[in-house]
Chain A
Amino acid sequence: EVQLVESGGGLVKPGGSLRLSCAASGFEFSIYSMNWVRQAPGKGLEWVSSINIGSSYIYYADSVKGRFTISRDNAENSLYLQMDSLRAEDTAVYYCAKETTYSTFDYWGRGTLVTVSS
């Protein structure tokens, strides 16, 4: 059974940092691109970042470029999102999502809530 379990969310002050993790199991993690998608309270889905199998192709939404860094450890079956210079508008549930073909996210985690507030 495919499982994606996010962790690392919490309350952080504006300007602060947080590192999210996503533990993957039940599939061959190293052969799939992975993504982070977020959803602000009461709002729609927003794609955040993607990383390919060898970490050679990494892309970010304009809203987080220069502040967030995606990475992965294929040996540990884990995906990460380092979030720096956090802003109130980064407050959201952050989902880890497995990608099959481009823009096809076939499995999602349950999400981890990040709240940026003073």
Chain B
Amino acid sequence: QSALTQPASVSGSPGQSITISCTGTSSDVDDYKSVSWYQQHPGKAPKLMISDVSNRPSGVSNRFSGSKSGNTASLTISGLQAEDEADYYCSSYTSRWSRVFGTGTKVTVL
């Protein structure tokens, strides 16, 4: 199972919106509504930000939103803040009953 493809880095200024893409195949992202997004700060465990494509867990800022079209899922962060600077990973269920993560995207707040 190959990792889902994410851009290595995305940057934006405070207050701007950015979007991170996550591209898979017909065997994972395209076939299931089980795409999640995680935020990871250096030296910390990942934190769930979005589940099932677009559901935001309790306590997660509404500046984070998710969507999906075909085999590509997206995470949008609006009103970018300094605290959003972190690594972001998508994940998906797969047709082989396994799970797969994306390659990861480093978000930099300029």
Say whether B99 faces chain A, with CB atoms less than 8 Å apart: yes
Please indicate which of the listed interface residues A45, A103, A109 has the most CB atoms of chain B within 10 Å of its own CB: A103
Give A29 Cβ to nearest chain B Cβ, in Å: 18
Q: Which of B27-54 contact A (CB under 8 A)?
A: 32, 34-36, 38, 40, 45-48, 51-52
Complex-state Cα separation, A109 to B45, whole angstroms: 7
Given contacts A103-B36, A104-B34, A105-B38, contact A47 B99 (CB under 8 A): yes
Say whether B92 faces chain A, with CB atoms less than 8 Å apart: yes
Say whether A85 faces chain B, with CB atoms less than 8 Å apart: no
A residues within 8 A CB of B3?
A: 44, 46
B101 near A47: Cβ-Cβ < 8 Å: yes
Complex-state Cα separation, A35 to B36, whole angstroms: 15
Q: Which of A46-72 contact B (CB under 8 A)?
A: 46-47, 50, 57, 59-62
B91 near A105: Cβ-Cβ < 8 Å: yes
B45 near A103: Cβ-Cβ < 8 Å: no
A57 near B97: Cβ-Cβ < 8 Å: yes
A44 near B103: Cβ-Cβ < 8 Å: yes
> What's the A-B contact tally at a CB cutoff of 8 Å?
71
Q: How many residues of B contact A (CB 8 A)?
A: 29
Complex-state Cα separation, A65 to B36, whole angstroms: 24
Say whether B16 faces chain A, with CB atoms less than 8 Å apart: no
Q: How many residues of A contact B (CB 8 A)?
A: 24
Say whether B64 faces chain A, with CB atoms less than 8 Å apart: no
Instruction: Closest A residue to B98 by CB, please name it.
Output: A59
Chain B 14-28 near chain A by CB (<8 Å), digits 1 or 0: 000000000000000
Instruction: Closest B residue to A62 by CB, please name it.
Output: B1
> 16 more A-B contacts (CB under 8 A) besides A59-B96, A104-B36?
A37-B46, A45-B38, A45-B40, A45-B46, A47-B100, A47-B101, A50-B99, A59-B97, A59-B98, A95-B45, A102-B93, A103-B34, A104-B51, A105-B38, A106-B57, A110-B45
A-contacting residues of B (Cβ < 8 Å)?
Answer: 1, 3, 32, 34-36, 38, 40, 45-48, 51-52, 57, 87, 89, 91-93, 96-104
